[in-house]
Amino acid sequence: MSKTAIVVLSEPKAGSEEALGRVFNALGAAYDFKQAGEEAKIIFQGAGTRWPAELQKTDHPAHTLYNEVLAQVEGISCACADVFGAEPSGLDLIKNNPVPGTSGLSSFVQLQKDGYHILTF
């Protein structure tokens, strides 16, 4: 069985179709892996830490898809949430990469060591 980490970096405040397309395709990829019985996890990092608050809004076009893959969301990068002023939105804060001067980021090295392929959106 393959393992895939899907990292969302896109900026929801951009309000662009491109940003929406990135998060929609990230969620769609997670759904595809879920349907295929493959392991996948979603991590919100960088400006992408702002997405969960948007996706939880019932009128958001990706709200239903987000709820379908919510169990696959590992969390949001703690330091990125600090920098970008994102609310955890009930998700776990990931800080297994203790970058100096920060509260910690998500570790891509650990993902690779754990056998994950990494997709970024």
> Which helix (H) or strand (E) covers residue 82, if one does?
helix 78-84
d(CA 26, CA 6): 7
Domains of the chain and any CATH numbers: 3-120 (3.40.1260.10)
pTM: 0.94
What is the block-wise mean pLDDT of the chain (121 residues), using blocks of 10 residues? 94 88 97 97 97 96 98 97 92 96 95 97 97
Contact present, 11 and 49 (Cβ < 8 Å): no
Residue 12 burial (C-beta neighbours within 10 Å; 0-12, 13-18, 19+):
buried
DSSP letter at 70 equals: G
Q: Say which amino acid occupies 91.
A: L
